[in-house]
Structure 1
Amino acid sequence: MTRSAIISGGGIGGLATAAALGQRGWDVTVYERQPELRAAGSGIYIWENGLRVLESLGAYEEATEGAFHGTHFEQRDNANNIIESAPIGADKRLLTVLRSRLLSSLKSSCDRFGVKVVTNTETIGATARGELILSNGSTVRADLAVGVDGVWSRVRQSLGLELVHEQTREGALRTMIEARPGDFAPEDQGKYIENWNGMRRFLITPVNATQIYLALTCPNDDEAARGIPIDKALWTESFPQWAHLIDRIGGPASWGVYSVTRARQWSAGRTAIVGDAAHAQPPNLGQGGGMAMQNGLALAVALEQAQDVRDVPAALEAWEAAQRPLIEHCQRWSILYGEVTYLPDEVRSRVIRSAMSDPYIAGQVFKAANSEPTGTVAPQR
């Protein structure tokens, strides 16, 4: 007997969850409020855990074609001196790709598994009976409903699952620029570089041979720094060594503060929440998308034990019990990493250098990135 699932949200987490369920024989329909599937943002980090999920869903090749494969993640101080340069081992991959390419690859997997996508359809609520309530006044029902509808999740709110939803003090301007020969000195090739100056950060992330993703972060009350259009003179003053990249900014840019969400639980009856709806975190560890994909796959694996619709609530409870410790661990350490923003420059440098040289702390920071997601097999190399 074919089981049915309905999903609110056609973003990265929603499509990964849909593909994982469809791969296991579920009849899946995704409801997306936008007129077309589109990825918000520019580039995205995919660590080892997220890459294994893509491999398991058959989305890896398309998602990572032409992707930038970094060798080091490096932090620098306000004088452009290296604070810490952490090598990325060959067995713990980190790639950066365009969000649009990642979304397209997951959509391709959904197509292969028969997932249906309905656009221009907004979800305004849900019930514990596996129902989504749509803005046109209709209700759709299935054996399973999943809200992957972001930090302002109507599914989470309507089910009474919200425990915390707060916006942090810090946010980011995100934009893409053209990559050109000579952008990086020979010693900087293959690096993701995070620069600090006061409470401003400048993150440089190549995503392929022709494009570089820039994230310019600052407190929300730094009105001059967060303004659009981007004040290139101001950011060049803070990071003069990267004037040639900052001067190239000219395309679309978006500003957004970070959100943190926590839920009392991740399900009610036959309805669950996944991704930012359940566990949004600041992007400091590059794990927002990875955690959403990882948890969506784990949900589909857990539901393989539900042979009858009556078994779905228990399977969802078991899924949460297994996955929540790691995801909340990642969320805590992402928040903690962001706190160094508010230290004086010289203190921040000492703290980062000392922390990342400590095997315990480094292990905690990269615990999620190096995890083996449920439902995947570690690749043979």
Structure 2
Amino acid sequence: MSKKLHAVISGGGIGGLATAAAMAQRGWDVTVYERQDALRAVGAGIYIWENGLRVLEALGAYEEATAGAFRGTHFEQRDNLGQVIESARIEESKRLLTVPRSALLDALKNACLRAGVKVETRAEVIGATAKGELLFANNQSVQADLAIGVDGVWSRVRSSLGLELLHEQTREGALRTMIPAQPGDFGPEDTGKYIECWNGDRRFLITPVSEKETYLALTCPHDDARGRSIPVDKALWAEAFPQWKHLIDRIGAAPVNWGVYSITRCTAWSAGRAAILGDAAHAQPPNLGQGGGMAMQNGLSLAVHLQGLTDRRDIPDALERWERKERELTEHCQRWAILYGEVTYLPDEIRTRVMRNAMSDPWIAGQVFRAANHSPTGTTD
């Protein structure tokens, strides 16, 4: 019986755990290293489109991750007067579910544990080498057949391998929080919808995630001191979006986090027997709701491309094949997520015309939802 190849992964977030579960299910010995003292979700709610849901099904994490999830029927944009710009129906065959990030992380963690993945916490990774090593802040290191960095936008693995081509923060960021849901929050015309409202360069996104919770994202430029303030300036946001004052007034029971969006691009996704994925390799603004989905599908694809290997010398070629398979779609998704965010800075009346014309155009809609409608490697149609 041949010895299992060993992979070490930096980062116990959504992408890292999805990758770990997929690889362990395909015969790899996998250890995940997380710098925090426990695996915990960063953020509030998360969109999981059809492509991400297919990955969860392939990993055996779908039922747990989506228990009690909200499944919307429409994604709707509204202008500064509260009028509908575009209300796009979500096809039955192209699912979109929203869940708390903590529920998704727990489901992926349990998939990892069932597959035999080992998790080490309080382990701060500060770098990696092309020889499959992870380097730690305590001057220790671990040697494996493959090292993988899924360690976020400020990836130390990416930097140490010399793969970074671009890392920039956008002008825009968001306050994110959860509020308790209450009967009567949505009128008959709003029920079943994800609603994105625009007013000047501020946006307000309303996302039900369950019968008990609703996820809110309050988006504005990073130099909008009042808009980004914590505690949230409820009067400011209620003035901009008066229809939703009853939701805005409820902010405060759960933590509120501010974050500026990041974009990362790399010369390559691997060096020798080390690789990067997720935000470390291809961070994008969350405008298409695909950051987590692309990380999960690229992690599954990585495992598929490495499946069956018995000699570590074959790993670099497999990593190159994986990148060639996935990079074009990933960068397409990133490009359209950036483009979508640019309409924020158009005058209100111009933005309304642009959005209405764009989202009703079949070709543009096809580009925007191309990743969401994709069947990821390792899943079935």
- TM category, shorter: over 0.9
Deviations, residues 74-125 of structure 1 (Å, cap 9, x unaligned)? 0000111000000000000000000000000000100110000000000001
Equivalent in the alignment of 1:224: 226
What's the TM-score once normalised by structure 1's chain length? Answer: 0.99
Q: Is the 8 A contact 2:5 2:310 kept in 1?
A: no
1:162 aligned to 2:164?
yes
Q: How far did 1:281 drift?
A: 0.1
Equivalent in the alignment of 1:120: 122
SS of 1:18's equivalent in the other structure is: helix
Q: Counterparts in 2 of 1:339-350, with a 5 A limit?
A: 339-350=342-353
Q: CA separation in 1, counterparts of 2:166 and 2:32? A: 26
Equivalent in the alignment of 1:67: 69
Q: CA separation in 2, counterparts of 1:285 and 1:330? A: 8
SS of 1:188's equivalent in the other structure is: coil
Q: CA separation in 1, counterparts of 2:117 and 2:197? A: 42
Q: How far did 1:305 drift?
A: 5.2
Q: Counterparts in 2 of 1:297-308, with a 5 A limit?
A: 297-304=300-307, 306-308=309-311
1:211 aligned to 2:185?
no
RMSD, aligned α-carbons: 0.6
Deviations, residues 47-100 of structure 1 (Å, cap 9, x unaligned)? 000000000000000000000001000000011100000000000000000000
SS of 2:30's equivalent in the other structure is: strand
Q: CA separation in 1, counterparts of 2:141 and 2:224? A: 44
Q: How far did 1:306 drift?
A: 3.0
Q: CA separation in 2, counterparts of 1:357 and 1:62? A: 35
1:237 aligned to 2:245?
no
Q: CA separation in 2, counterparts of 1:133 and 1:307? A: 25
Which of 160, 173, 177 aligns to 2:179? It is 177
Deviations, residues 2-39 of structure 1 (Å, cap 9, x unaligned)? 11100000000000000000000100000000000001
Equivalent in the alignment of 1:87: 89
Q: CA separation in 2, counterparts of 1:7 and 1:234? A: 43
Equivalent in the alignment of 1:145: 147
What's the TM-score once normalised by structure 2's chain length? Answer: 0.99
1:36 aligned to 2:38?
yes
SS of 1:187's equivalent in the other structure is: coil
Q: CA separation in 2, counterparts of 1:256 and 1:57? A: 30
Equivalent in the alignment of 1:16: 18
Q: Is the 8 A contact 1:305 1:315 kept in 2?
A: no
The unaligned stretches of length 5 or more in structure 1 are none
Q: CA separation in 2, counterparts of 1:305 and 1:299? A: 12
Structure 2 residue identity aligned to 1:55: E
The unaligned stretches of length 5 or more in structure 2 are none
Equivalent in the alignment of 1:190: 192
Q: How far did 1:307 drift?
A: 3.2
Structure 1 residue identity aligned to 2:336: W
Which of 108, 111, 122 aligns to 2:110? It is 108
> How many positions carry a matched residue from both structures?
378
Q: How far did 1:136 drift?
A: 1.1
